[in-house]
Amino acid sequence: MPRDTTSPDALHVSIGQAAAAGRKPVMQDFHGALVPEGEVLTLKGITLAVADGISSSAVSGEAAETAIGSLLDDYYATPDAWSVRTAATRVIAATNAWLHGRNAALSDIDTGRVTTLAALILKGRAAHVLHVGDSRVQRIAGGALERLTADHRVTLAGGRSYLDRALGAAAEVEVDYRRVALSEGDTFLLTTDGVHDHMDLGIVRDALSRPDLDAAARAILEAALAAGSDDNLTVQIVRVDALPDGAASLAPEAADLPVPPLPRAGDVVDGFRIVRPVQASARSHVFRATAADGTEVALKIPASDITQDARALRRFQLEEWIARRVASPHVVAAGPAPDRRSVLYVTTAWVEGTNLRQWMTDHPRPAFEEVRGIVEQVAAGLRALHRREMIHQDLRPENVMLDRDGTAKIIDLGSVTVAGVEEAAPGLLGEMPGTFQYTAPEYLSGDAVSWRSDQYALGVLAYEMLTGRLPYGAQVARIRSRRDQGRLRYETARDDRSGVPDWMDAALRRALHPDPLRRYDAVSEFLADLRRPGPGWKAGRHVPLAERNPVRFWQGVSAALAVLCVVLAAQLGGR
């Protein structure tokens, strides 16, 4: 069986397969396996799958073949950034919808295109099991068979049974999913019921002792047939021979490139002419540059602080990789790619304009509609990332640019986490990034991070544009636990300066809730509630000046006391 040989630290497996119609005149099982190479192996993994068309249908074999073919083709066409679960379940759901549509005109679904499906996807250092029906995925563990799937079969009185879940049987399908950690030497079996209903553990052990896994699969199949199986039979075996070290690079061609010395204005780097330096940080030096075709780009070179850290350099390369996979007018695009790189750098499109921090300085009291317009554009950029299972993690005013046309763009992708990449190389994305003032509390308390964490940061931007201050002041930086998280106290956006109405303040309060599960279920709901009172909003109590603007309240108290002191002094002096 073909195996990847492109990298010594790649995932390596051995595969054996066998299938037969058995005592049936027609073969309604189908199976397949795909072992890609290079970056596809890293980001998508190795796929094995078996399907078993229902016996009552003459066309169910077509369903089994369709299920396997679409998984092996379409799964690898899904975005690289998606997790295995998202990518595979969407493909399976689409296949189910197509099969069910073909069955719509039938009076009896048992004569239609209906099949089981059991899939095993090995990616990085984990196995992902997806399952519908009664085909099985099992693992040999400690000399025993560990079942990783539960049969979707209901047995009636009298011994009759039926599938209560299968592809093509209903308009919607629920796909079981399970993830298990891999170890070298792990062996998995995928079988249809014609095999596992008649499978003997001792025979399986003896078969797996053979070096040839194809021969082992045939031995298991023949033993099931000899034990009385009267169904189609399919066996797949996969053994994990070597695991990646978890330090995968998504740009192997750049892995050994040297970090260049910092260029000067007029220098040329692989065809990019440097215009001027723009910014320097602990992570990178940013230069404005012009490509050979005249396109302006931001060219980033790693800072000396990270040049000795191989993982940090791989993380640095990921920013351009992300930019090439997100298409949105509100997310910075990648720059033109050179034919060949001689040194290590990344490029993104140059955005001419001002960042949101400067905009807030220039517009200390913006109109509500201006704020809404910017928030809605930034939200559109976030949604483009979230659709790719990416979380920005470092949304702040310095990372949002407003170009000359007023279009808001998220410009810094250096802290974005990518679900599919994290599966392939756990830990590549590094520690919690971001700036405390805009960082969701769950990053610091240890709660799960999700797209709702970006919603929180978006809420902080909206709050700060409206009020000129932060919703929790310096409280967030002191969070160390969930208890600390629960102690956060939101400072109302309503004051005499901002003029924020209470219904808009309610929207901000919800988007900025310390508990991510109590924030909005969709960013679009937050945007809607910034434009009109939400459906659950009710006018609340009058907020006193001491709460709305405590500084002005105490200034007023002090002034009143001063006047009182003057009056009393005058009265005493007249005596």
Query: What is the distance between the alpha carbons of residues 470 and 116, in angstroms, rounded to a whole number?
Result: 54
Q: What is the mean pLDDT of residues 74-97?
A: 97
Q: State the pLDDT at residue 314.
A: 83
Is the pLDDT assigned to residue 1 strictly greater than 50?
A: no
pLDDT band at 251 (very low <50, low <70, confident <90, very high): low
| Bridge partners of residue 141, in order along the sequence | 144
Hunting for tokens 């003896």 — which residue is that? 206
Whichever domain contains 209, its CATH number is 3.60.40.10
Highest mean pLDDT among 16-20, 441-445, 471-475, 570-574: 16-20
Q: What is the mean pLDDT of residues 211-225?
A: 96
Residue 257, in any domain of the structure: yes
Q: What is the pLDDT of residue 3?
A: 43
Look at residue 82 and tell me if it is in a domain: yes
Q: What is the pLDDT of residues 374-417, one digit of tens each?
A: 999 999 999 999 999 999 999 999 999 999 999 999 999 988 99
Look at residue 544 in the predicted model and tell me its pLDDT: 57
Amino acid 312: pLDDT: 84
Say if CB 149 and CB 176 are below 8 A apart. Answer: yes
The total number of structural domains that make up the chain: 4
Q: How confident is the model over 549-564, as a mean pLDDT?
A: 67
Mean pLDDT of all residues in 51-64: 96
Q: Is 48 contained in some domain?
A: yes
Distance CA 329, CA 245 (A): 37
Q: How much is the pLDDT for 403?
A: 96
Looking at the structure, tell me whether residues 455 and 497 fall in a common domain.
yes
| Domain annotation covers residue 360 | yes
Higher pLDDT, 107 or 95: 95
Which range has the worst mean pLDDT, 3-7, 54-58, 216-220?
3-7
Write out pLDDT tens, residues 328-341.
999 999 999 898 89
Cβ(334)–Cβ(324) below 8 Å = yes
- Per-residue pLDDT, 6: 46
Give the pLDDT of residue 287. 97
Q: Tell me the pLDDT tens digit for each residue of 439-477.
A: 899 988 888 899 999 999 999 999 999 999 999 988 887
Q: Is the distance from CB of 86 to CB of 422 less than 8 angstroms?
A: no
Q: Which of 189, 188, 197 is nearest to 232 (CA)?
A: 197
Count the alpha carbons within 13 Å of 482 in the hemisphere toward its beta carbon: 5
303-311 — which CB contacts under 8 Å span 24+ positions? Answer: 306/282, 307/259, 310/247, 311/247, 311/427, 311/428, 311/430
**Same domain assignment for residues 363 and 454:** yes
121-138 as b/e: b if 16+ CB within 10 A: bbbbbbbbbbbbbbbbbb
Pairing of strands 296-302, 284-290: antiparallel
Is the four-CA dihedral 301, 306, 309, 312 of positive or negative sign?
negative
pLDDT higher than threshold 80 for residue 563: no
pLDDT tier at 4 (50, 70, 90 boundaries)?
very low
Whether residue 20 has pLDDT greater than 50: yes
Output the six-digit token pair for 416. Answer: 């974005």
Q: What is the DSSP string of 513-549?
A: -SSGGGS-SSHHHHHHHTTS--TT----PPPPHHHH-
Is 185 found in the same domain as 85? Answer: yes
Q: What is the pLDDT of residue 8?
A: 58
CATH code at position 307: 3.30.200.20
Please check whether residues 326 and 405 belong to one and the same domain: no
Q: Are residues 225 and 126 in the same domain?
A: yes
**pLDDT number for residue 2:** 41
Report the alpha-carbon distance of residue 28 to residue 26 in Å, rounded.
6
Cα separation, 356 vs 374, whole angstroms? 9
User: What pLDDT score was predicted for residue 481?
Assistant: 79
- pLDDT at 313 > cutoff 70: yes
Residue 514: closest CA among 451, 454, 434, 442: 442
Rounded mean pLDDT, 264-282: 95
Is 1 within the bounds of a domain? no
CATH number for 397: 1.10.510.10
* Cα(421)–Cα(425) distance, integer angstroms: 6
| 538 and 477 fall within a common domain | yes
> Is pLDDT at 246 greater than 80 in this prediction?
no
Choose between 412 and 51: higher pLDDT.
51
Q: Which conformational region is residue 554 in: left (phi greater than 0), alpha (psi within -120 to 50 degrees), or beta?
A: alpha
Query: Which pLDDT does position 234 carry in this prediction?
Result: 98
Assess whether pLDDT exceeds 80 at residue 546.
no
In order of 19, 87, 379, the CA distances from 412 in angstroms are 52, 26, 15
**What average pLDDT score do residues 197-225 get?**
95
- Residue 479 banded pLDDT, cuts 50, 70, 90: confident
Q: How far apart are CA 321 and CA 325, in angstroms?
A: 7
Average of per-residue pLDDT across 75-102: 97
Task: Check whether 31 has a pLDDT greater than 90.
Answer: yes
Listed range (117-126, 132-141, 304-313) with the worst mean pLDDT: 304-313
CA distance 179 to 506: 40
Structural domain of residue 341, as residue ranges? 252-349
According to the model, what pLDDT value does residue 237 have? 98
Half-sphere exposure of 293 (CA within 13 A, CB side): 6
The phi, psi pair for 310, rounded to 5°, reads -60, -40
Q: What angle do CA 448, 453, 455 make, to 5 degrees?
A: 150
From 242, 271, 295, give the residue that closes a domain: 242
User: How many Å apart are CA 548 and CA 556, to the nearest integer?
Assistant: 13
> Alpha-carbon distance 488 to 567, whole Å?
43
Question: HEC profile for 234-283?
Answer: EEEEEEEEECCCCCCCCCHHHCCCCCCCCCCCCCEECCEEEEEEEEECCC
Same domain, 229 and 266: no
Residue 115 CB: number of other CB atoms within 10 A? Answer: 33
Domain boundary among 242, 268, 287: 242
Annotate 73-127 with three-state secondary structure.
HHHHHCCCCCCHHHHHHHHHHHHHHHHHHHHCCCCCHHHCCCECEEEEEEECCEE
Q: In whole numbers, what is the pLDDT of the chain averaged over residues?
A: 90
205 falls within a domain? yes
Question: Higher-confidence residue: 65 or 546?
Answer: 65
The predicted pLDDT at position 5 comes to 40
For the cut 90, the answer to whether the pLDDT of residue 504 exceeds it is yes
Q: What are the φ/ψ torsions at residue 336 (nearest 5 degrees)?
A: -60, 140
How far lies 318's CA from each of 139, 165, 251, 309, 398, in Å?
Answer: 35, 40, 8, 15, 20
Confidence bin at 434 (pLDDT 50/70/90)? low
294 plus 203 within the same structural domain = no
Residue 204 has pLDDT above 60, yes or no: yes
Q: Tell me whether residue 2 is in a domain.
A: no
Q: Residue 429 — very low, low, confident or very high, per pLDDT cuts 50/70/90?
A: low
Higher pLDDT among residues 484 and 419, named by residue: 419
Residue 106 clears pLDDT 70, i.e. is over it? yes
* Confidence category of residue 145, pLDDT binned at 50, 70, 90: very high
Instruction: Tell me if 325 is assigned to some domain.
Output: yes
Domain identity same for 83 and 185: yes
φ, ψ at 40 (rounded to 5°): -65, -40
Residues 308 and 443 in one domain: no
* Same-domain check for residues 436 and 471: yes
292 with 377, same domain: the answer is no
Task: Out of 242, 277, 304, pick the residue that ends a domain.
Answer: 242
Dist. CA 443–CA 479, nearest whole Å: 9
Of 35-44, 350-359, 510-519, 535-544, the range with the lowest mean pLDDT is: 535-544
